[in-house]
Chain A
Amino acid sequence: MEAAQKKQAGKPVFSDYDYSNFYYGSGDDPLNLLPPFNEWYREARPNGYYLYAEPLESAPTTKVRVKNGKTGEVRELVNLASYNYLGISYRDEVKQAAAAALQKYGLGASGSPILSGTFDVHVELAKAVAEFKDKEAAILFPTGYSANVGFISAIMRSGDHIFCDQYSHASIVDGAILAKSKTVFFRHNNPMDLERKLSGVRGKKLVVVEGVYSMDGDVCVLPEIVDVAKRHGARILIDEAHSTFLFGPNGRGVSEHFGLDDQVDFHLGTFSKSLGGQGGFVAGSKELVDYVTGFGRSRFFSCNLAPAVAAGLLAGVRIVMNEPQLRAHLWSNVAYLRRRFAEEGIDIGKSTSQVIPVMVNNDAKVFAVAEKIQEGGLFLQPVTYPAVPKHKSRLRISVSAAHSEAELEFAVGVIARVLREEGICRA
């Protein structure tokens, strides 16, 4: 029976369930988790979940060749889904540096960074990151996820308290779990709630925030958070995954943007967003880096970044330092898109950054909207519950400095047309 017919008949349909329903299973066999999930997924996939993880057959530039997850057809689409905020990953200098390193070092690092897996290019990259962040030292991690998990669990212990924004990335939460600290969530970007949660708590305290929140594109209210944290004797970690290389006079991040670089205790960033590469880092004092080198388990129990990737990232960091106009171009694109969305009556939530959610606010319609948008020529994924709250479903746009005005205008046209057809925004 089709989903619509089942719904009409009052029977449960795929949209009555989501990933959160299949987390627990019963019985003594872990494989018991699979049958109910797969029964649901067989119906959910053709009804829209196929839009996730569609294979790309070209570089993630502003146009990308995508193999449709349902039909198998390969089409060139305007790419609004890849991070690559500065359009760096496919620049010739980056590809050449990576290719030369591949020739010199081969495929991988072949070892842990604390044993045999550190190469000269890793040392050079860490130095370049420290210089860029204006810190004494930096330490590299194989992914942004492992940077949060490894760093938080390196410095916090059982009995300590970690205060996380409720919209914290999974890597922050998983780091807190691994640290075995008591984890307290405060309301999103709400210093008053943080103050309430911090009150009366003794012992080691860490407040964790993100520079830009990845689903809403809003910027951390860092001055207020810093004020509250300092008054309660808490240290502050800022995850600048989506803001490093973009915000502030030198692109160091949201902490620089607010002039609070020295007030924030721990600075974490990634290479996968603005640079379109891979990896994460923590920048700070040499003492901090030496300690995390010894206690960052996610790092030293992983193979180091591939030297070719590290070489490409090094070239990318140099481009960022030498070409501030890239940031200016990105912000110009963001301003253009925000203005055009406002003119078209399209809701972009609380975004003030290059991450722009096009709010659909209808979990039942978001997949149909996303399908139509892809048919219209855009590569853009739906985001729905449980990644965001119920009925806060959206399409998440990543703006790049590399987008042309024509591409952005094309995107606005497709999105506005589909949202009007679906009754999501005014005609």
Chain B
Amino acid sequence: MPGLTRYGYRDAISGFFEFPTENARRILPAHLEPVEVHHGTSVFALTAFDFNQSEVGAYGEVVMAVVVAPLVKPGQPFPKSAMYPYLVATTTKAARDHAIERWHLPHWMDDVDVAFDRQKDHLTVRVKAEGAPVADLTIYQYEWHPVSHLHQSFMKDGEANYLAQITMEGQHSEHENEKGSLKLYEHPFNKVLAIPDVYDVPFREQWMRDGLQTFQPLEQLEAA
């Protein structure tokens, strides 16, 4: 299909963490609504990708995001979830330039270290920027099933608002067994988060592997 952009990945892990809605609202543009798991409690999502195939080669990426309400259009496929990535970091400049140019994603403007430590039943990602630790995320596996899930990603670049429809295909494991963990470090990377208020155990852990992330062409949204 023309216009699609594909990224092959070995692993993509996400941890979903409760954090205060007031923190979420400080991060989000006014036209996006945070999804709440409880009254006053929204969802911070940290995702790490180990891309092994893309237009810009292999690279690691970490995405800090807030889970938001999706944009549902009549007759269109229904999204599984929607995110507002407020900070993306990559291990290569080429990947960063590509994502900024094509997807208008806000980036940490230096290369970061994204180290994947694979164990039998869990995977730990350690992120470092400027030589200092940013975050350690551990996600445990559950049962594996092939899936094809549609997700939405909202971006804001200056006054312009964008939406990317993203299909995630691959082997999928998801659970809420509260086995994983998150350590966020005091670092400029995390300056928008009130770290003590971000719960350090994910209420949901998602792991995808050996799959394909497919972006449909970017849509520019009407001004909010």
Contact = CB atoms under 8 A, between A and B. Distances in A.
Interface of A: 10-12, 16-17, 21, 23-27, 32, 35-36, 39-40, 164, 166, 173, 176-177, 182-185, 385, 389-392
A35 B72 CA distance: 10
B142 A36 contact: no
Contacts of B149: 12, 16
Contact of A24 (B35, B38, B169): B35
Nearest to B146: A10
A36 B78 contact: yes
A201 B154 CA distance: 35
Give the dominant DSSP class at B's interface. loop
B38 to A, nearest CB: 5
Interface stretch (B4-12, B85-93, B172-180): B172-180
A40 B148 CA distance: 16
Given A25-B72, A390-B204, 16 more contacts: A10-B147, A12-B77, A12-B148, A12-B149, A16-B149, A21-B78, A23-B69, A24-B33, A24-B70, A24-B72, A35-B74, A36-B78, A39-B78, A173-B39, A389-B203, A391-B177
Contacts of B122: none
Nearest to A386: B37
B176 A389 contact: yes
A166 B38 contact: yes
B7 to A, nearest CB: 18
Contact of A390 (B41, B146, B150, B175): B175
A232 to B, nearest CB: 17
Contacts of A182: 40
B71 interface: yes
Given A11-B148, A16-B80, A16-B147, A36 B72 contact: yes
Nearest to B21: A183
B26 interface: no
B73 interface: yes
B210 to A, nearest CB: 14
Most buried by A among B18, B146, B169, B176: B176
Given A16-B147, A24-B72, A183-B38, A10 B78 contact: no
Interface string B30-73: 00010100111100000000000000000000000000011111
Contacts of A40: 78
Interface string B149-163: 110000000000000
A389 B41 CA distance: 16
A223 B174 CA distance: 35
A178 to B, nearest CB: 10
A176 B169 CA distance: 40
Nearest to B75: A35
Contact of A184 (B35, B40, B169): B40
A24 B18 CA distance: 19
The 3 A-B pairs at the shortest CB distance, nearest first, are namely A389-B176, A24-B69, A390-B176
A385 B35 CA distance: 16
